[in-house]
Amino acid sequence: MPKILIVEDDEQLQQVLEMTLKRHGYEVHGSTNGVDAMVQASSLKPDLIVLDLMMPLASGDAVLGFLRSTESLKQTRVLVVSAHPKAAALADQLDADGFLAKPVEMQTLCSTIDQLLDPETAG
């Protein structure tokens, strides 16, 4: 069962995402700030991280930079989910594997994650 770390500071959205992805068959962990996200990513070694860019303590772009510069985490798939107006460009610039704009439809989120975790399409 693939492991997903959801990094989202909106606790209601975090719960909805966790519930949806658990029902979809994933092992789900949550983090509500960037520093905790880096600690959890290091210990959990998730298959995919759903990452908001606007986070307390350390921004999503700092988290993504950390992931891409850490040998054991640089291959981790990262899906940026953000309402930030420049998020798509930033996600691309920081080498994220995908981007979805908030508000995100749960069906779109699940199908995007399925595609990112599919070994046939995984780079």
For the chain, give every domain's residue range. 3-116
E-assigned strand segments in the chain: 3-7, 27-31, 48-51, 77-82, 98-101
CA separation for the pair 32, 36 (Å, rounded)? 7
Class of domain 3-116: alpha beta
Distance CA 22, CA 60 (A): 23
In this prediction, residue 121 has a pLDDT band, given cuts at 50, 70 and 90, of low
pLDDT of residue 122: 47
Average per-residue pLDDT for the chain: 89
Mean pLDDT of 56-84: 87
User: Which pTM was predicted?
Assistant: 0.91
pLDDT of residue 110: 94
Picking from 47-51, 76-80, 89-93, 117-121, which range would have the lowest pLDDT averaged per residue?
117-121
